[in-house]
Structure 1
Amino acid sequence: MALINPKKREVQVKIVYYGPGRGGKTTNLEYINEKFRSRIKSEMVTVKTYNDRTLFFDFLPFDIGMIKGYTIKVQFYTVPGQVKYNATRKLVLRGVDGIVFVADSMTLRQEMNIRSLENLAENLVSFNKNIETIPLVMQYNKRDLETEGIPVLPVEVMQKDLNTSLKAPYYTASAVNGENVAVTMKRIISMTVMSIREKLELGGNE
């Protein structure tokens, strides 16, 4: 559940970008950090691991309203995608309120996407969270590679692989070009805030 800070009259919402290594999670957050600079309320912190990175920063969302009179602050995180950093991925997921799953559209990354989604489901269970019910947006990234002659998976195949049972909202994207990065971000913020409001109205944390 989101952290509620009575002193600052602030609700802290945690959104994590998850997915396979080098799929575009970091590029998403770097684009957001640059494009919406006036909304960023902290420096972007980078924790480097070999060939991978974890990023996080605070963000004040667009006209999203308030929750029970409290202002909303979003904390964006990425996780390292490589298998060997699962302990770090699990740690970053602690207290998560919403997730963007960034899948790599390259054909040769098909199996890695599937494994990463399975890993996300497993790690959520350890925090008594369910991938079927947590606010989740799918992003099929790197669609621009098709114009460079690099084989990419048809969206229908990615939907079948990753989204058949979840039926989460999804966007095709190019994080490098910024295509649908902001749309993805706004959708997950909206879904997550709505979910938190509903929980509080049902008698959650005050």
Structure 2
Amino acid sequence: MAFINTKTKEVQVKLVYVGPGRGGKTTNLEYIFSRIRHRIQSDMVSIKTQGDRTLFFDFLPFELGAIKGYNVKTQLYTVPGQVKYNATRKLVLKGVDGIVFVADSMVDRRENNIHSLENLKENLRFYDIDICDFPFILQYNKRDLGAQGVPILDLETMEQDLNAELKAPSFTASAVTGENVIATVKRAISTTMVAIREKLL
């Protein structure tokens, strides 16, 4: 739930990037950070591990402007994708306001995507959150690999695997080139703000 400070007229919104290991979550945040570095004062916090690029989270606050007289600050986090870090993933999801699921478009990562989404649903249920009634954006990452001869999943398959039930907004993307990275986070922020707008009374 967004932290709303009525005295300072500030809202803190927490967006979490989730998905399978090495799917591009950290690369997304690194690209966003590089694009808006001039607008923020703090650095990203990243803890590297041997098997996954991010153990805990990347932290990125930036100003969004005012909504209903409240200044909005967004914090972007990533969670580790590896199965053995599930306790950490669950911890980072505490207090989440919106989610970006970064799916890996490579053919050999199909099952990883499906298992990661099921794990996310399970972790959200721990906090009594129904993913079907929650700000959720899908990003089909690594689409650029197709041009390099790497076998990638067709969009119809990915939609059927991950979005048939949710009907969430989805973006094709390349976190490496930056394609639709900003579009994804903008949609995630706007969708999340719509969901919490009623609390700003």
RMSD, aligned CA = 1.3
Q: C-alpha distance in 2, partners of 1:97/1:111?
A: 27
Asked if 1:88 corresponds to 2:91, the answer is: no
Partner of 1:126: 126
| Equivalent residue, structure 1, for 2:63 | 60
Is contact 1:101–1:138 with CA below 8 Å preserved after alignment? yes
Partner of 1:35: 35
Unmatched tracts of structure 1, length 5 or more: 202-206
1:59 Cα deviation after fit: 1.7
Q: 1:60 to 1:41 in 2, by over 3 A?
A: farther
CA distance in 2, matches of 1:183, 1:38: 19
Q: Distance in 1 between matches of 2:60 and 2:13?
A: 12
Secondary structure of the residue that 1:187 maps to in structure 2?
helix
Q: CA deviation at 1:49?
A: 3.0
Q: Which amino acid aligns with 1:142?
A: K
SS in 1 for 2:47: strand
Matches of 2:41 and 2:4, distance apart in 1: 17
Write the deviation string for residues 121-160 of structure 1: whole angstroms up to 9, x where unpaired.
0000111111101101100000000011000000000000
For 1:200 and 1:160, locate their aligned partners in 2 and report how far apart those are by CA, in whole Å.
36
CA contact (8 A) 1:41 1:60 kept: no
> Counterparts of 1:2 and 1:41 in 2: how far apart (Å)?
22
Q: What is the DSSP-based 3-state SS (H/G/I as helix, E as strand, rest coil) of the residue aligned with 1:15?
A: strand
Q: Aligned to 1:17, what secondary structure does the other structure show? A: strand
Q: Is the 8 A contact 1:139 1:171 kept in 2?
A: yes
Distance 1:35 1:84 in 2: 32
TM-score by length of 2: 0.94
Match in the other structure for 2:155 = 155
- Contact preservation (8 Å) 1:41, 1:57: no
Structure 2 SS opposite 1:157: helix
State the alpha-carbon separation in 1 of the partners of residues 41 and 8 from structure 2. 14
What is residue 204 of structure 1 aligned with on the other side?
A: none
Deviations 1:158-184 (A, max 9, x none): 000000010000000000000000000
Gap regions ≥5 residues in structure 2: none
Aligned pairs for 1:10-25 within 5 A: 10-25=10-25
Structure 1 stretches of at least 4 aligned residues deviating more than 3 Å after TM superposition: none
Query: In structure 2, what is the Cα distance between the partners aligned to 1:5 and 1:43?
Result: 24
Match status 1:190 vs 2:190: yes
